[in-house]
Structure 1
Amino acid sequence: MKKTLFTMTIGLGIMVLAAQQVQARTCAPREDLVKRLTETYGETRQVIGIARQGAVMEVYASAASGSWTITVTLPDGVTCLIASGQSYEDMAEALPPNI
């Protein structure tokens, strides 16, 4: 639970920052983009979360290559690539204690 909450928080934060670069997005039907991420980069879905207005945020990553991609799927089924990069690591950090 802690890992999921931490990962979703990071992913949503990145999504907000990346939203400022809307011009750079690539959008297509979800099944086409998922197929491309899987076949070309070996990425599989690692994280999922619900964003505003019914959008679904997902993080795809490959443990073998370290590549990762953040996507957002809108209610109409269109999926947009928000960010991508290298050096993906699966982490399970403990949350800081409540003060």
Structure 2
Amino acid sequence: MTRTLTQVLGAERQSMGLRDPETMLEVWVTSSSGDWIIVHSYANGTSCIVAMGEHWEAELSGPA
């Protein structure tokens, strides 16, 4: 999955987080087009795309 996202689509992982102890969610973004992909990765090595869209805008975090 990572190879396809990076080499074929030109996407970069922007963020990731644990959904539960067995599941990781990752957000991948193609900087040239702003297309985004959310990937569910499981501890057993299986991954699947659960959502895709366009016009990703990253929020910049800083002091409140």
Q: TM-score scaled to structure 1, two decimals?
A: 0.57
> How many percent of aligned residue pairs carry the same amino acid?
27
**Structure 2 regions of 5+ residues with no counterpart?**
none
- 1:34 and 2:23 matched: no
Q: Which has the larger radius of gyration?
A: 1
Please identify which structure carries the higher helix content.
1
Do the aligned partners of 1:63 and 1:89 also contact (CA within 8 Å) in 2? no
**Structure 2 residue corresponding to 1:79, chosen from 43, 47, 56:** 47
Q: So what's the TM-score if we normalise by structure 2?
A: 0.84
| Unpaired segments ≥5 residues, structure 1 | 1-32
Name the Cα RMSD after superposition.
1.7
- If asked which structure has higher relative contact order (CA below 8 Å, sep 6+), I would say 1
Moved over 2 A (4+): none
Aligned partners of 1:47 and 1:74: how far apart in 2? 16
